[in-house]
Amino acid sequence: MENVNKIEIRLDKITTSQVTINIPFGLEFFPVDNTELQQTEFVDSEKQKAVNPIVDIEKYPFYPSFPSINGGQANAYIIEYKTDLTLFDLGFTENDILFNRLPFKKTYLRLNFYDTKDSKTQRLIGRETVHLKIDSNWYTNGQLQPLNTIYATFISNAQNSIYNSIYGEGFNYYWYKTTLPYTIYVKPAVMNAKTGTVTKLYSYYLGSITPPPSLSVAVPLLGVDYIKCDFFEDTTKRQKYYYNLNSDGLSDTQTTEDSLFPTNNKITINLIRY
């Protein structure tokens, strides 16, 4: 039968006198070895480290927004990427446009997402595309305008049944909600399916502030080869997850805000080849 209550008698503490014998009782626990200590301080802690934590690795759509003239953030429903490349510069012919040929449809704006603006250490962490599509503004009285006067504009807009969603590609960016807030750097380039060439683009601020050359990202005309993009969460709104472009003010962007008809809210980014 197992003894439950154990009392220790320390022989080295027993003392005697002429009439008494003193026998002290000790109730303190003195482990024979360090088994319990090893279990609690090492084994259990290592077991806990070995358990994989629950991580949300699902990517969520982030919607474009910009600082509102009334304070806070305004939702954007259209994003325009305007380039200084004409359809003639891209090598297209009138028949390519009139018949919507495959080289025209396969030409697109590539947006590469990097974790840093330093091209010597940056890692590619994402990519979006915006395809070139025929615009009714290219025609006058039913006639196609000269191709050297039509600048390639890549448009993306909100994908919703109540909007014109033919430009939906590249409107939402996808990222993890567990890493918010997070900053990335977007580098645009035109992938030309007609000629097979890649044309790098950049954007620079046209105001009085001259963007400084930064690390290894300096490009001609005092610009930088990235557009800063910030992912953040806004719990006061239904969609919750948003992104802002050009928070550092180094890129040439304009915003259009219509308080009466918010679906007209637009972000325009001007891009130049180099």
The more confident residue out of 249 and 144 is 144
Question: What was the pLDDT predicted at 224?
Answer: 72
Residue 25's pLDDT is 60
| Residue 117 confidence class, pLDDT cut points 50, 70, 90 | confident
CB 108 within 8 A of CB 167: no
Question: Residue 22 in contact with residue 14, Cβ under 8 Å?
Answer: yes
- The answer to whether residue 36 scores a pLDDT higher than 80 is no
What is the pTM (predicted TM-score) of this model?
0.74
- Rounded mean pLDDT, 170-189: 91
Under DSSP, is residue 45 helix (H, G, I), strand (E, B) or coil? helix
Q: What is the pLDDT of residue 169?
A: 78
Q: Quick check: 210 pLDDT over 50?
A: no
The answer to whether the CB of 179 falls within 8 A of the CB of 108 is no
Q: What is the mean pLDDT of residues 57-76?
A: 90
pLDDT band at 268 (very low <50, low <70, confident <90, very high): very high
